[in-house]
């Protein structure tokens, strides 16, 4: 009985393959199969890279359209698998031999397919539906449906297992070939599309892509997508790859966009500024009369005439207006013009100018107002240039009578004004003689040669943001009898037989000058205007004539439109003597004083430390009192000073004359006659050799004194309206040249930043000889 039950159990088991067995049918147990190897055909079928079960897990996002394009994979779907593949069932009553030839993996395949069907059933069922189950009657019905009572009719209805495997293999091969051809076709299409895209990119005319894939839009894949994970022999089609590339290019954020826009704006701004500066310089250099091409320019250290003189009329050949006769034409406008203002020629000037330059960060630009009285003037003279002084340019007085003396071009050039700016100075006092404007009968001077150089110097000052103090340093007849007044000897200005005539002539000079410099082009750059330099009132028969003349000159220049600050000299009178003189004459008026210790024998004898103390206690107090209208005259400016502590400089007192320091000075001519036969140093015998030596031979203590001495004077004079150093440049006199003193380290590197102030302690300068 138990044996019959086992046969009955085996007979009821379904020996058909898993794909042909109905749901719920029992497969044979593994032990019922023979232990022989699987057929080669079945091995090849199992070794394929893609199983049917793999296709059932395919991404649901794939569209029906794309499945058709890639080739339809085989899928086992519940209720339709046998309709699509038409697999032929094996006979249920197969012989034991065929049963034994079935591979034991059939049970595994059956279980896997069954699980997949059940998972799909679960997905398709709604949550409210009960799970599908098979009762005993259903199972019996299915078993009976696929069971044949005899083996006789099985041969006419079913194929053998070998034939079935061959048929499956053929189907697999056909399917694989179809898929391979479809893949090759898609690869070819994709390569063509890549070539077209590359050509479009090379032409640089890429247009914004527009998503036109209907399948992508219909399936909702226009947003975030993931790349399929497929076997190595599969790839995405061009449409999906393009979409993924677009997705990888994230849109530019607002922050990044604004950063790029800002960077571009900054670059454009820099370009505009540079272009504007270049254009401004070209504009400022435009020639008068609209001919900017006829402007001479030279950086040579020697004079040069590069002017085109083709437009000069024959009638002016050889005159002042013939630029071909000018020794140097650098930075002049060579265009011919006969126009004058106040009887003074405009030829050489450029028609446009720029007042935006600034001397340094501590000063306003030229087109901004300078607040005199609140801001100290820090300037230098350019003495010995437009009116000669022997100690400044001694070489010009060391020549044979047969030699020709060159004109005023020699001493100052454009680079000097740049150096003045770089030294931290902000004003330039330009001394000139009356012959720059006009010469009179009997005068030995060549008229107006220095006029064009004066105008060019003003333009150079404008270029570097330097304000100008025009100083009429020499008037007809000589106002003091010294060489720098144009004539050494007696005073014939407002003094002597021709004094009144020469006084009237000097008013004529101011009439022309004031009309010319009242032009708009000079209102920002020529801010100080001197009436006459150092009138020696203490040696005149009637000093009051000088006061009357000052008032006439002030009225004249104001009448001609001059609005600048006006300056008159103290006449070598004590500043206290001016307290009640010329007060209220004009609201923009300054008194000019020149302080030198070396021309006073009593002060010259002081020790080094005492000289500094005199500046900080004596001079400082005098300036403070004078500069205040309630205690003195009012606005007081120091127009000349130096750091020289001796008068040893050759030709300082006169050509070939000696010095007070050494006690060998003897000048017995005219108003400037001085005789000093006793040494004037603190500890005689006194020597001029160390003072006139090259600054490289100065001791450290002497350098320290000279710098402190200069800085003490700076501090004292800035208690008033400010100061002008005498002078910027000399040939060899270091202690009279700001340029040479700066190079020697005995002046502050920047004029606006001295180290010593009068409230600091003054050392004794131990080891420094008081006699040299």
SS3 assignment for 64-120: HHHHHHHCCCCCCCCCCHHHHHCCCCECCCCCHHHHHHCCCCHHHHHHHHHHHHHHH
At 19-58, the pLDDT tens digits run: 666 666 666 555 444 444 444 444 443 343 444 344 444 4
pLDDT category at 4 given cuts 50, 70, 90 is very low
Is the model's pLDDT at 374 over the cut of 90?
yes
Contact 349, 722 (CB under 8 A): no
Say what the pLDDT of residue 539 is. 94
Residue among 497, 470, 475 nearest 486 (CA) = 475
Catalytically annotated residue among 389, 640, 711, 718: 640
Residue among 697, 518, 715 nearest 623 (CA) = 715
Ranked by mean pLDDT, which of 272-286, 320-334, 523-537 comes out on top? 523-537
Structure token pair of residue 220: 């909702």
Instruction: Determine if residue 491 is left, alpha or beta; phi over 0 gives left, psi from -120 to 50 gives alpha, anything else beta.
Output: beta
- CA angle, 769 as apex, 765 and 772 as ends, to 5°? 140
Say what the pLDDT of residue 250 is. 58
416 to each of 33, 304, 727, how far by Cα in Å?
Answer: 117, 18, 12
Domains of the chain, CATH where assigned: 2-183 (no CATH), 377-397+408-744 (3.20.20.80)
Q: Reduce the secondary structure of 410-446 to three states and give it as a string.
A: CCCCHHHHHHHHHCCCCEEEEEEEHHHCCCCCCCCCC
At 531 the three-state DSSP class reads: coil
Contact 32, 99 (CB under 8 A): yes
433 to each of 412, 469, 487, 490, how far by Cα in Å?
Answer: 16, 14, 11, 17
Structure token pair of residue 142: 């299915």
Give the separation between CA 485 and CA 534, rounded to whole angstroms: 9
Catalytically annotated residue among 90, 534, 711, 718: 534
DSSP β-ladder status, 665-667 and 674-676: antiparallel
Is the model's pLDDT at 463 over the cut of 90?
yes
At 46-91, the pLDDT tens digits run: 343 444 344 444 444 444 444 444 444 444 444 444 444 444 444 4
Sign of the C-alpha dihedral computed for residues 109, 115, 119 and 120 taken in this order: positive
- Distance in Å from the first CA to the final CA of the chain: 151
Give the separation between CA 674 and CA 138, rounded to whole angstroms: 151
Give the separation between CA 644 and CA 715, rounded to whole angstroms: 17
Give the separation between CA 61 and CA 765, rounded to whole angstroms: 99
Is the model's pLDDT at 99 over the cut of 50?
no
Task: DSSP letter for 27, please.
Answer: B
Residue among 744, 749, 739 nearest 419 (CA) = 739
Is the model's pLDDT at 255 over the cut of 90?
no
Phi/psi at 340 (5° precision): -135, 160
Evaluate if pTM is beyond 0.85: no
Catalytic annotation present for 640 = yes
Is the model's pLDDT at 308 over the cut of 70?
yes
Structure token pair of residue 233: 């022999």
**What's the rounded mean pLDDT across residues 166-194?**
82
Phi/psi at 566 (5° precision): -105, 145
Contact 86, 167 (CB under 8 A): no
Catalytic annotation present for 177 = no
pLDDT category at 136 given cuts 50, 70, 90 is low
* Strands (DSSP E) found in 351-419: 377-381
Give the separation between CA 337 and CA 347, rounded to whole angstroms: 6
Contact 764, 770 (CB under 8 A): no
224 to each of 50, 214, 250, 530, how far by Cα in Å?
Answer: 28, 16, 12, 85
String of DSSP letters for 332-353? -B------EETTEE-TB-BS--
Encode burial over 727-748: b for 16+ CB neighbours within 10 A, e otherwise.
bbbbebbbbbbbbbbbebebbb
């Amino acid at each position: 009985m138990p044996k019959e039950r086992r046969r009955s159990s085996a007979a009821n088991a379904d020996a058909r393959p898993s794909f042909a067995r109905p749901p719920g049918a029992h497969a044979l147990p593994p032990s019922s199969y023979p232990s022989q190897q699987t057929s080669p055909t079945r091995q090849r079928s199992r070794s394929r890279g893609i199983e049917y079960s793999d296709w059932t897990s395919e991404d649901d996002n794939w569209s029906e359209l794309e499945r058709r394009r890639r080739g339809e994979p085989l899928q086992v779907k519940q209720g339709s698998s046998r309709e699509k593949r038409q697999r032929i069932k094996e006979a249920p009553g197969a012989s034991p031999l065929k049963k034994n030839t079935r591979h034991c993996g059939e049970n595994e395949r059956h279980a896997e397919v069954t699980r997949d069907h059940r998972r799909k059933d679960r997905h398709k069922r709604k949550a409210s539906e009960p799970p599908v189950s098979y009762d005993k009657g259903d199972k019996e019905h299915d078993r009976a449906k696929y069971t044949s009572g005899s083996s006789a009719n099985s041969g006419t209805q079913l194929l053998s297992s070998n034939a079935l495997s061959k048929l499956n293999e053929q189907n697999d091969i056909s399917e694989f070939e179809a898929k391979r051809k479809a893949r090759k076709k898609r690869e070819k299409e994709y390569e063509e599309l890549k070539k077209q895209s590359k050509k479009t990119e090379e032409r640089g005319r890429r247009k914004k892509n527009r998503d036109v894939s209907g399948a992508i839009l219909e399936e909702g894949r226009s947003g975030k997508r993931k790349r399929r994970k497929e076997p190595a022999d599969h790839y995405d089609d061009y449409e999906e790859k393009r979409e993924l590339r677009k997705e990888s290019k994230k849109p530019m954020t607002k922050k990044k966009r604004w950063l790029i826009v800002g960077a571009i704006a900054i670059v454009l701004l820099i370009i505009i500024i540079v272009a504007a500066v270049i254009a401004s310089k070209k504009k400022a250099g435009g020639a008068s009369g609209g001919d900017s091409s006829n402007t001479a320019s030279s950086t040579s250290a020697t004079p040069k005439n590069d002017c085109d003189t083709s437009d000069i009329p024959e009638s002016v050949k050889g005159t002042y207006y013939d630029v071909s006769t000018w020794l140097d034409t650098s930075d002049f406008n060579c265009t011919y013009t006969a126009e004058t203002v106040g009887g003074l020629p405009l030829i050489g000037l450029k028609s446009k100018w720029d007042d935006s330059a600034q001397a340094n960060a501590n000063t306003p630009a030229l087109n901004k107002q300078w607040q005199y009285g609140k801001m100290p003037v820090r300037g230098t003279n350019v003495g010995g240039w437009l009116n000669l002084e022997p100690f400044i340019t001694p070489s010009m007085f060391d020549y044979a009578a047969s030699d020709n003396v060159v004109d005023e071009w020699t001493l100052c050039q454009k680079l000097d004004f740049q150096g003045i700016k770089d030294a931290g100075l902000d004003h330039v006092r330009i001394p000139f003689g009356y012959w720059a404007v006009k010469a009179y009968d009997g005068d030995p001077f060549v008229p107006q040669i220095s006029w064009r150089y004066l105008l060019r110097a003003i333009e150079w000052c404008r270029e570097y943001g330097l304000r100008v103090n025009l100083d009429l340093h020499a008037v007809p007849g000589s106002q003091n009898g010294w060489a720098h007044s144009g004539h050494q000897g007696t005073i014939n200005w407002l003094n002597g037989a021709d004094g009144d005539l020469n006084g009237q002539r000097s008013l004529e000079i101011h009439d022309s000058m004031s009309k010319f410099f009242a032009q708009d082009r000079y209102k920002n750059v020529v801010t100080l205007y001197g009436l006459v330099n150092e009138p020696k009132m203490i040696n005149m028969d009637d000093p009051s004539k000088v006061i009357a003349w000052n008032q006439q000159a002030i009225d004249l220049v104001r009448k001609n439109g001059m609005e600048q600050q006006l300056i008159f000299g103290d006449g070598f009178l004590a500043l206290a003597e001016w307290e009640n003189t010329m007060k209220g004459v004009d609201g923009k008026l300054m008194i000019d004083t020149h302080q030198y210790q070396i021309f006073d024998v009593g002060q010259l004898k002081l020790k080094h430390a005492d000289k500094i103390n005199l500046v900080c206690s004596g001079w400082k107090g005098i300036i403070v009192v004078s500069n205040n209208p309630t205690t003195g005259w009012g606005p007081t400016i120091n127009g000349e000073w130096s750091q020289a502590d001796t008068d040893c400089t050759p030709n300082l007192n006169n050509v070939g004359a000696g010095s007070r320091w050494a006690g060998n000075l003897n000048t017995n001519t005219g108003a400037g006659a001085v005789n000093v036969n006793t040494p004037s140093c603190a500890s005689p015998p006194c020597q001029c050799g160390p003072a006139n030596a090259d600054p490289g031979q100065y001791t450290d203590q002497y350098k320290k004194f000279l710098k402190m001495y200069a800085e003490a004077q700076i501090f004292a004079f800035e208690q008033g309206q400010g100061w002008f150093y005498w002078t910027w440049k000399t040939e060899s006199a270091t202690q009279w040249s700001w340029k040479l003193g700066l190079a020697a380290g005995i002046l502050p590197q920047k004029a606006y930043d001295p180290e010593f102030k009068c409230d600091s302690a003054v050392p004794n300068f131990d080891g420094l000889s008081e006699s040299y």
